[in-house]
Structure 1
Amino acid sequence: MRAAVFKRALGRLVVEQHPDPSPEAGELLIRIARAGICGSEIHATSHPARPVGGDTILGHEICGEVIALGKGVERFRVGDRIVPMPYVGCGRCSACLAGKPHLCPGARLGIVAGYCEYTRVGQNECIRVPAEVSDEEAALIEPLAVGLQGVRKAELAVGNRVLVTGAGPIGLAAAFWARRLGASRVVVMANSARRKQFALGMGATHFIAQQEVADATEAVRDVLGGAPDVVIEAAGVPGAIAEAIAHVKPASTVISLGLCWGGDHFCPSAALMKEVRLQFSLCYARSDFEYCATVMAEGDHRPRIMITATVDFDALPAKFESLRGPSADCKVMIAPGGI
């Protein structure tokens, strides 16, 4: 099969031939239909705080078709379209039994590899994709579930006012779910206006480009009619948590979804004096994947507006590198079988 491999020594993706994988007991072999490029993969292949070692096939936002079953597989059949969760746990602890393998003491990133034609996945980490959901939409389920879990942790009350900082796919997903789950006003704030159309299309009621306002705190309060009840930090840059604490109203909640690879600091007393609840959120439960699929199957297809490009393997290395700097793209999909 063809696979796009990140070569650490070269610092870039190289498309090459690899042996076709075979499913082991309890596994599915899938033909990948679509794989999304995640911002974490861009950062993990460039940031010194989290190097990707050796030669690695990236990709964890995928949708594919089952083409072979390993021994003992009972939940799926050949021909099913599935989306896998990328984490694998022991399958026996309380976290695994609750559908949260990423919190298993022995959790590891699974055997999922998306930048290739075929991959093996464990049957216990997969959900079936409804017929009403396209392959492209199904490949959005993983980042949508990250945003969903963050919003659920915020315990929104109907009518709450929400600020989302950062307008990447995770921030946009958070804005989408905040509106669906009852927020009356949702403002997305980012450095520039480049993502404004995506934020409004995903359900945000307002958008603020920080570089265009003199006082961000005042701008947020103006559009929300007061300080936000919840701030969802999805920027993942140093200073973002301190900024979120400064924005949120007293006795309210800050959810940190941003993946800040390097160090950061904030003043605990600033949060203490406002009695802020600070909650970090890594990812999701299997039920979040299922809910995302159900929402799109029932007709809410707004998340597809995040998809700005689809590339094949020939175009992938150059597109991947282009995402390291400012880009007009939001979510880029890979079509391993060609476009």
Structure 2
Amino acid sequence: MKAALYPGGGQPIIIADLTDPRPGPHDLLIRVHRCGICGTDLSMTRGGAWDYGKGVQFGHEYAGEVVEAGREVTGFRPGDRVAVMPSVPCSRCEPCQAHGNPVLCTAKPGSAMAGFAEYACIPASVAVRLPATLSLADGALIEPLAISLYGARLGRIGAGDRVLVLGGGTVALYAIYWARRLGAGRIVALSRSARRRDLALAMGADEFVTAGEDEVGLVQEVLGGAPQVVVEAVGAEGVLGNAIRHAGPFCRIVSLGFCTAPDPVIPAIASYKCVSLQFAVGYRMAEFLYIADQMDKGHVDPGAIVSRTIGLSDLPAMLATLRQPNAETKVHVMCGG
């Protein structure tokens, strides 16, 4: 089969010929249909302290069709269409048992990050069957939708809340989507570029504000007051401090940006607002199941953010393109489907 491999050390991705995987007794062999390119894929393949490692397969936003089920697997059969939760839980450690977040699993029994390939062999426990109303393209969006839903729930976004979302990428757009579905009152999207203004409004924002000197006043004017919840979905230095600058009294800030560099804040400013700062990574199976069941019942099609679909052989060049200024939002890779 064809599969993308990362050689490590920031070297360019290669498309290699690998032996077709075979399912173990508790596994599913799936033909991958689509896999989305994530910002993490870019940051973890550029070399440095945060890196996928040498000679690994990757790709974690994917969906496909079951080709074969292991002999001990029940509940799945060939032809089933599934989305994949790429982090495999041990189901015994505290993060797994108490919080249900397999990304934080301390045992790390394995990984299902193999979406940029024609086939993937995964534990049946991380597969989520897609309802008939969803396409495989929809299935490849469940993982990024789950990140933003998890963050929105940690931020306790509720009825009438004034919400500010910092950023214009996938996580930010989906944070707007969930804030609207969770009953937020007014929602403002704030970004340096107005390129995704229309998408932000389509996802449920009441207004889009371009970052600048007057942004704090403009945000408060649109929201009708200072934000009660701020979702940081940029992951760049200085953004946490900006989130605190915007925050109202007792504001709940959720950081989903996953910045990998030092990002200083002034605690005194946050203290005088009694701000709560929640960092988050990952999601639970609960988010995956909820999205699979509810995705087609929202106020807008989440697939509207997909700006381009490419073939697997085009992945290395597209990764290079995405590292530069570009017009893409979410790129999907057609793999083996």
Distance 2:67 2:85 in 1: 18
Residue deviations 1:98-139, cap 9 Å, x none?
642223321366133011000111111121111111111110
Query: By how many angstroms is 1:233 displaced?
Result: 0.5
Contact 1:88 1:109 in 2 (8 A): yes
Where does the alignment leave 5 or more consecutive residues of structure 1 unmatched? none
Distance 2:153 2:320 in 1: 34
Change (3 A) 1:256 1:127: same
Contact 2:10 2:46 in 1 (8 A): no
Please tell me whether residue 314 in structure 1 is matched to residue 313 in structure 2: yes
Query: By how many angstroms is 1:94 displaced?
Result: 4.9
Q: Look up the match of 2:138.
A: 137
Where does the alignment leave 5 or more consecutive residues of structure 2 unmatched? none
Distance 2:9 2:252 in 1: 43
Contact 2:90 2:109 in 1 (8 A): no
**TM-score by structure 2 length?**
0.95
Residue deviations 1:29-84, cap 9 Å, x none?
10001000001111111152313321222200000111111231113222111111
- Runs of 4+ in structure 1 deviating by more than 4 angstroms, as ranges, are none
Residue deviations 1:233-268, cap 9 Å, x none?
011011111111111101121011111012221122
Query: By how many angstroms is 1:200 displaced?
Result: 1.1
How many residue pairs are counted as aligned between the two chains? 336
Tell me which amino acid in the other structure corresponds to 2:253: V
Please tell me whether residue 85 in structure 1 is matched to residue 80 in structure 2: no
Q: Look up the match of 1:112.
A: 113
Between 1:285-294 and 1:100-109, the stretch displaced more is: 100-109
Distance 1:337 1:76 in 2: 20
Query: By how many angstroms is 1:204 displaced?
Result: 1.2
Residue deviations 1:138-172, cap 9 Å, x none?
10100000000111111123111100001110011
Distance 1:300 1:13 in 2: 37
Q: Look up the match of 1:219.
A: 218
Q: Look up the match of 1:270.
A: 269
Please tell me whether residue 252 in structure 1 is matched to residue 251 in structure 2: yes
Contact 2:28 2:123 in 1 (8 A): yes
Contact 1:131 1:297 in 2 (8 A): no
Contact 1:201 1:302 in 2 (8 A): no
Distance 2:173 2:109 in 1: 27
Please tell me whether residue 14 in structure 1 is matched to residue 14 in structure 2: yes
Tell me which amino acid in the other structure corresponds to 1:307: V
Distance 2:117 2:39 in 1: 18
Tell me which amino acid in the other structure corresponds to 2:171: I
Query: By how many angstroms is 1:311 displaced?
Result: 0.4
Secondary structure of the 1:274 match is coil
Distance 2:131 2:168 in 1: 28
RMSD: 1.7
